[in-house]
Each structure stands twice: as structure tokens, then as C-alpha cells.
Amino acid sequence: MWEYTDAVKDHFLNPRNVGELEGANAIGEAGSLSCGDALKLFLKVNENERIIDATFMTFGCASAVASSSALTEIIKGMTLDEASKITNGDISDFLGGLPKAKMHCSVMGQNALKKAIADFRGVQIMEKPGQIVCECFDVTDLEIIDAVKKNGLETTEDVTDYLKAGGGCGNCLERIEEVLEAVKAKG
């Protein structure tokens, strides 16, 4: 059974800010049904670019629900500039930590937030830079390098835990290994 903190359990069993948000003017989606978890984030942003309300709808495991709930609590009242600096680590910290194998749930939160902010500002999220490594979950080499450096990931399993990359068909596991080795080699 998963070792969840009391905060994760609380946010799973009593999620805050659930449901569609009437009058939302920014929406961000991450994940999909086939992935096994998905999050739709709704924001109401005022003329000063301050988030005055945030809600979510999530399909997924307990930590996916808790991460979504935590995210809405964190960003309410922030300006978009402040919110854009929120990372998956902040979501995980807010919950007192997530099991390593569930870190991707917090990454999903971060991604949905990024998309919602881009939605509000009317900017297209640009084609992701870098090369796609994991086709199943649409993860690029640059994203892997970034996650490895920021979180000190050691193994391909770590990469899968954080980014899901390699967790679908598994065809890209060797390529992930190469990217990992390259980062390690550079130090």
C-alpha cells in the first residue's frame, strides 16, 4: 500500500476546489484517459493578472487528486507571474512529500498550470523544443535532461516515476538510458 502523508490523504478525501468554475477565463489540461491520469484546471484571473479563483477536475489515483487540490490552494491569490514560478516540487512540498513513484502527479499539476497561464495570455504553447523520446507520453530529451538535473534522478525508473517517460510501451527505455548517461557524463 502507498505511504501517503496525512496531507495527501486529507486532500484526497476532502479535495478543495472541485468542479468546473463558472466564469473561468483560463483553462489548462494535462494527461489523458489512456495515461491513467488527467487534470483540467480552471482559473479566474482579474484585470491585474491575479488568480482570484481556481478549481480542478481530476481523473487519477489519490496523489493525482491531492496534487490537483494542493495546486489550486497554492495558486489562489497569486499573480500569473508568481504562479508561473510554481514547480512540481512546490506541489509535493505542500503535501509533505509524495512517494517517488507518484511524483509524475505533481508534474501533471505543473503542466496544467503552465497551459492555463498560456491560455489566459493567448499565447500558443510553442512546439516543445528538443526531440521526442517517449512517444506514449510525449516527453522530449530536453525535458528529461531538465528533470534529471533538477531532481538528481539516477535511473531510468526515476525518470519514469517523474515524467512517465518509458512507462507505456517501454520502447524508449534505452534512449532514456542514453540521455541519462549523457547528463551524468557531463556532471
**Binding residue for another protein (CB under 8 A) from 7, 62, 118, 183?**
62
How far is CA 2 from each of CA 42, 52, 58, 63, 165, rounded to the nearest angstrom?
29, 34, 19, 10, 21
Pairing of strands 37-45, 26-32: antiparallel
Q: Is 7 in the site for another protein (CB under 8 A)?
A: no
Q: Is 120 in the site for another protein (CB under 8 A)?
A: no
Q: Is 167 in the site for another protein (CB under 8 A)?
A: yes
Closest by CA position to 144, among listed 116, 123, 174, 115: 174
**Binding residue for another protein (CB under 8 A) from 24, 35, 98, 179?**
35
CB of residue 45 vs another protein: minimum separation in angstroms? 20
Task: Give the separation between CA 187 and CA 100, rounded to whole angstroms.
Answer: 23
CB of residue 64 vs another protein: minimum separation in angstroms? 8
Q: Is 160 in the site for another protein (CB under 8 A)?
A: yes
Given the C-alpha cell 482570484, which residue does it identify? 52
- Please list the active-site residues: 35, 105
